[in-house]
Chains A and B, each alone.
Chain A
Amino acid sequence: MNVLAILMIGGVLAVPGVALVALRWASHRGELNLPERAALLPFDEEEPVGRATDQILNRQSAES
Chain B
Amino acid sequence: MSVHSDNRGQSGLDSGEATDVRDLHAAILRERPDPIEGREPLNLWVVAFIAALLFWAGTYLTQYSGGFRSDEFAERQINPAPAPVAAGGGAEDPVSKAVKEGAIVFATSCSPCHQADGNGVSGQFPPLAASEWVLAEGPNRIARIVLNGLSGPIQVKGSEYNNAMNAFRDSLDDRQIANVLTYIRNSWGNKASLVTPAEVGAIRGGTSDRSQAWTVADLEKVPVSGGAAPAGAPALTPAALKEALKKLSPDELKSVLQDVGK
- Verify whether A and B have any Cβ pair under 8 Å: yes
Within A21-57, the residues touching B (CB, 8 Å) are: 33-37, 40, 43, 45, 48-52, 55
A34 to B17, CA, bound (A): 28
Question: What size tier do the contact residues of chain A reach?
Answer: 10 to 19
Interface residues of B in 17-52 (CB under 8 A from A): 17, 19, 22-23, 25-26, 29-30, 32, 35, 38-40
Q: Does A2 belong to the interface (CB within 8 Å)?
A: no
Question: Bound state CA distance, A49 and B29, in angstroms?
Answer: 9
Complex contact A49–B13 (CB within 8 A): no
The one of B13, B22, B23, B35 that contacts A61, using a Cβ cutoff of 8 Å: B13
CB distance from B130 to the nearest CB of A (A): 48
Take A45-B1, A55-B15 as given contacts and tell me if A35 and B23 are in contact as well, using a CB distance cutoff of 8 Å: no
**B30→A52 contact, CB < 8 A:** no
Instruction: Given A49-B29, A55-B15, A59-B13, decide whether A36 and B23 contact each other with a Cβ distance below 8 A.
Output: no
For B22, the chain A residues whose CB sits under 8 A away are 49-51
Residue in A34, A35, A48, A59 with the greatest tally of chain B CB atoms within 10 Å: A48
In the complex, chain B residues whose CB is within 8 Å of the CB of A48: 23, 26
The smallest beta-carbon distance between B174 and chain A, in angstroms, is 29
Contacts of B39 in A (CB 8 A): 35-36
- Known A-B contacts A45-B1, A51-B22; the reply to A36 vs B13 at CB < 8 A is no
- B25 cross-chain contacts in A, Cβ below 8 A: 49-50
Collect the chain B residues with CB atoms within 8 Å of residue A59's CB.
13
Write the chain B residue with the least CB distance to A62. Answer: B13
The chain B residue sitting closest to A48, CB to CB, is B26
Q: A36-B32, A59-B13 are in contact. Are A50 and B23 (CB under 8 A)?
A: yes
Residues of A within 8 A of B15 (CB): 52, 55
Docked Cα-Cα span, A36 to B25, in Å, equals: 14
Quick one: which of A33, A35, A36, A61 contacts B29, CB cutoff 8 A?
Answer: A36
Bound-state Cα–Cα, A43 to B1, Å: 15
User: Which residues of chain B are near A51, meaning CB under 8 Å?
Assistant: 22
Please report the C-alpha to C-alpha distance between residue A37 and residue B35 in the assembled complex, in whole angstroms: 8
Q: Which chain B residues have a beta carbon within 8 Å of chain A's beta carbons? A: 1, 13, 15, 17, 19, 22-23, 25-26, 29-30, 32, 35, 38-40
Q: Which 4 A-B pairs have the closest CB atoms?
A: A50-B22, A36-B38, A49-B26, A50-B26
Which residues does A use to contact B, with CB under 8 Å? 33-37, 40, 43, 45, 48-52, 55, 59, 61
- 19 extra interface residue pairs, beta carbon distance < 8 Å, beyond A36-B39, A49-B25: A34-B35, A35-B35, A35-B38, A35-B40, A36-B32, A36-B35, A40-B29, A40-B30, A43-B26, A45-B1, A48-B23, A48-B26, A49-B26, A50-B17, A50-B19, A50-B26, A51-B22, A55-B15, A59-B13
Pull 28 A–B residue pairs with CB atoms less than 8 Å apart, ordered by A: A33-B35, A34-B35, A35-B35, A35-B38, A35-B40, A36-B29, A36-B35, A36-B38, A36-B39, A37-B35, A40-B29, A40-B30, A43-B26, A45-B1, A48-B26, A49-B22, A49-B25, A49-B26, A49-B29, A49-B30, A50-B17, A50-B19, A50-B22, A50-B23, A51-B22, A52-B15, A55-B15, A61-B13
